[in-house]
Chain A
Amino acid sequence: AQSVTQLGSHVSVSEGALVLLRCNYSSSVPPYLFWYVQYPNQGLQLLLKYTTGATLVKGINGFEAEFKKSETSFHLTKPSAHMSDAAEYFCAVSTYSSASKIIFGSGTRLSIRP
């Protein structure tokens, strides 16, 4: 079985500062890892995903995440926060053997201070 833990339900950073959203996963088989963003009253938009290969994954809007197997982590970062980055972010895990079921973390709300 897979699970995802997002550390921090709410993160607040200043505009222009580094964004770091933490995600740890548990999986008995090689995982597929995802970060999704949700703006108020909207569905989820895929930011980036890791399947195999390069462990540093670049996504949309300047976000990137690094898969660290030894730490079972997949933290999301962005060098410089913009006001438009304020949203809810979900880390998620899946595996090929799980018939595409995605297990979501509890979410982290990112606030940007002017």
Chain B
Amino acid sequence: GAVVSQHPSWVICKSGTSVKIECRSLDFQATTMFWYRQFPKQSLMLMATSNEGSKATYEQGVEKDKFLINHASLTLSTLTVTSAHPEDSSFYICSARDPSPGTAETQYFGPGTRLLVL
């Protein structure tokens, strides 16, 4: 199946700093990528939909100024957690939609990034 990578796989930062997470589709071009957040022992919560060349669409309750999303190319989307605080500590997962015919727009997920804010 298609491969999606994330970098870094984990990051520890001080409160007040900003952290950038990259999501790349390695073997297909993804016009649409998604960012999820997952708390321990819980399901994935969709944060935003990232569209190449346009502004991201945020889900209700997600602060767009807090979680900046940029989708500058067909293979890369970035999520920047600005002025991170301990409550932002979580597991962040991205996915990329494969637009190829016959895939039913299946989403392929990255391995996740664990963020710990001290």
- Using a CB–CB distance below 8 Å, which chain A residues touch chain B? 32, 34, 36, 41-46, 49, 51, 90, 94, 96, 99-102, 104-107
Contact A45 B43 (CB under 8 A): no
Range for the number of chain B residues in contact with chain A: 20 to 34
Return chain A residues, CB-CB under 8 Å to B91: 41
Smallest Cβ distance from A44 to chain B, in angstroms?
A: 4
Distance (whole angstroms) from the CB of B94 to the closest CB of chain A: 8
Please tell me which one of the listed residues A42, A96, A102, A106 contacts residue B107 in the complex, with CB atoms under 8 A apart.
A102
A42 and B111 contact, CB distance less than 8 A = yes
**Beyond A43-B6, A43-B111, A99-B49, is A94–B43 a contact (Cβ under 8 Å)?**
no
Given contacts A49-B104, A100-B32, A100-B97, contact A44 B109 (CB under 8 A): yes
B76 in contact (CB, < 8 A) = no
Q: Per DSSP, are chain B's interface residues mostly helix, strand or loop, or mixed? A: strand
B85 within 8 A of A: no
B104 in contact with A51 (CB, 8 Å): yes
CB distance from B71 to the nearest CB of A (A): 14
Q: List 28 A-B contacts (CB under 8 A).
A: A32-B105, A41-B91, A41-B112, A42-B112, A43-B4, A43-B93, A44-B93, A44-B95, A44-B109, A45-B109, A46-B108, A46-B109, A49-B104, A49-B106, A90-B43, A90-B44, A96-B104, A100-B32, A100-B97, A100-B107, A101-B34, A101-B49, A102-B34, A102-B95, A104-B44, A105-B43, A106-B42, A107-B43
